């Protein structure tokens, strides 16, 4: 098995609610990784599940190379809900800070329209990284859903929401973890 490299993949950056700003690790990775591109949404502050999932599915289905997804927060929910619309195989998904979209106290409340999560094992290798003090999900909920999906689960410690506001602009640990994850992926067989 040969290790997958950035140039072998189409890396889809899938931000969450309100998009990832200039200091966010997703934006930095997009600038640094030659084959990365962001899945744009028409309404970053008023997410509509059908629109968001359609945009992710369209990006996956238009890819010329094996797809590796890098999703943060509501982007994770979007990716999971979009899987039935994928027509091309995904090599892997790097899923960071999944929110608890089944929690009625989540704010803004319309984020619940992205839940509940399907609990079927994901059809591709995945990593879920969660923090012990994420305001959008308990650690236990993240750990439970990662187990249901068959994802490798990584404990990020007390890291908040793993975004620029919690001090994760550069996020070198995330970058190293992603490089390791990528190196273990096998390009899927394209039909």
- Kindly tell me the burial class for residue 169, based on how many C-beta atoms sit within 10 Å of its own C-beta (0-12, 13-18, 19 or more): middle
93-115 per-residue burial string, b: 16 or more CB within 10 A, e: under 16: bbbbbbbbbebeebeeeebbebb
Query: Which one, of 124, 134, 189, lies nearest residue 166 by Cα?
Result: 134
Query: Considering the entire predicted model, what is its pTM?
Result: 0.96
Q: Kindly list the domain boundaries of the chain, sorted by start residue.
A: 6-183
Convert the pLDDT of each residue in 26-68 to its tens digit: 999 999 999 999 999 999 999 999 999 999 999 999 999 999 9
SS3 of 66-89: the string is CEEEEEECHHHHHHHHHHHHCCCC
- CATH of span 6-183: 3.40.50.1820
Convert the pLDDT of each residue in 114-155 to its tens digit: 999 999 999 999 999 999 999 999 999 999 999 999 999 999
């Amino acid at each position: 098995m040969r290790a997958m490299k950035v140039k072998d993949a189409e890396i889809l950056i899938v931000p969450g609610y309100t998009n990832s700003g200039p200091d966010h690790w997703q934006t930095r990775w997009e600038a640094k990784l030659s084959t990365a591109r962001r899945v744009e949404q028409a309404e970053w502050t008023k997410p509509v599940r059908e629109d968001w999932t359609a945009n992710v599915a369209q990006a996956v289905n238009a890819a010329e190379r094996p797809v590796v997804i890098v999703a943060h927060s509501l982007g994770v929910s979007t990716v999971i809900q979009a899987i039935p619309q994928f027509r091309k195989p995904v090599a892997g998904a790097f899923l960071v800070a999944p929110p608890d979209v089944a929690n009625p106290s989540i704010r803004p409340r319309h984020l619940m329209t992205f839940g509940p999560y399907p609990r079927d094992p994901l059809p591709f290798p995945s990593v879920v990284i969660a923090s012990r003090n994420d305001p959008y999900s308990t650690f236990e909920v993240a750990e439970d859903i990662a187990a249901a999906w068959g994802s490798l689960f990584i404990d990020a410690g007390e890291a908040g929401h793993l975004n620029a506001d919690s001090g994760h602009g550069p996020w070198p640990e995330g970058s190293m973890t992603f490089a390791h994850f990528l190196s273990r992926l096998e390009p899927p067989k394209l039909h």
